[in-house]
Amino acid sequence: MKTVGVISFQGDFDKHIERSRALGLHAVPVRDAEAAAQVDAIIIPGGESTTIGKLLERFDMIDLIRRRIGDGLPVLATCAGAILLADEISGSDQPRIGGLHISVRRNAYGRQIESFEADVIVGDSDWPGWQESNVLGVFIRAPIIDSVSDEVKVILEFEGKPVLVRQGAILAATFHPELTADTRVHEYFFHAVAGFPAQ
Q: Which of 35, 37, 88, 92 binds another protein (CB under 8 A)?
A: 92
Strand order in the sheet with 144-148: 86-89, 100-105, 144-148
Q: Which of 54, 66, 153, 184 binds another protein (CB under 8 A)?
A: 54
- Min CB(168)–another protein separation in Å: 27
Cα gap 154→148, rounded to integer Å: 8
Q: What binding mask, one character per residue, do residues 175-194 give for another protein by CB under 8 A, x or -?
A: -x--xx--------------
Q: Which of 3, 24, 88, 107 binds another protein (CB under 8 A)?
A: 107
CB-count burial class (<10 Å; 0-12, 13-18, 19+) for 145? buried
Sole window of 53-61, 124-132, 166-174, 186-194 interacting with another protein (rule: CB under 8 A): 53-61
Q: Write the DSSP assignment of 46-94 as a string of letters.
A: SS-HHHHHHHHHHTT-HHHHHHHHHTT--EEEETHHHHHHEEEETT---
Residue 8's SS3 state is coil
- Min CB(79)–another protein separation in Å: 8
Q: What binding mask, one character per residue, do residues 6-45 give for another protein by CB under 8 A, x or -?
A: --xxxxxxxx---------------x--------------
Q: What binding mask, one character per residue, do residues 130-169 give for another protein by CB under 8 A, x or -?
A: --------xxxx----------------xxx---------
- Min CB(88)–another protein separation in Å: 16
In the chain the beta strands, taken as DSSP E runs, fall at 3-7, 26-30, 41-44, 75-78, 86-89, 100-105, 116-122, 135-139, 144-148, 153-158, 161-167, 170-173
- When asked if residue 55 is in the footprint of another protein (CB under 8 A), the reply is yes
Residue 130 has a CB neighbour count (10 Å cut-off) of 20
> Using CB under 8 A as the criterion, which residues of the chain lie in contact with another protein when the complex forms?
8-15, 31, 46-48, 50-51, 54-55, 58-59, 79-80, 92, 106-107, 110-118, 121, 138-141, 158-160, 176, 179-180
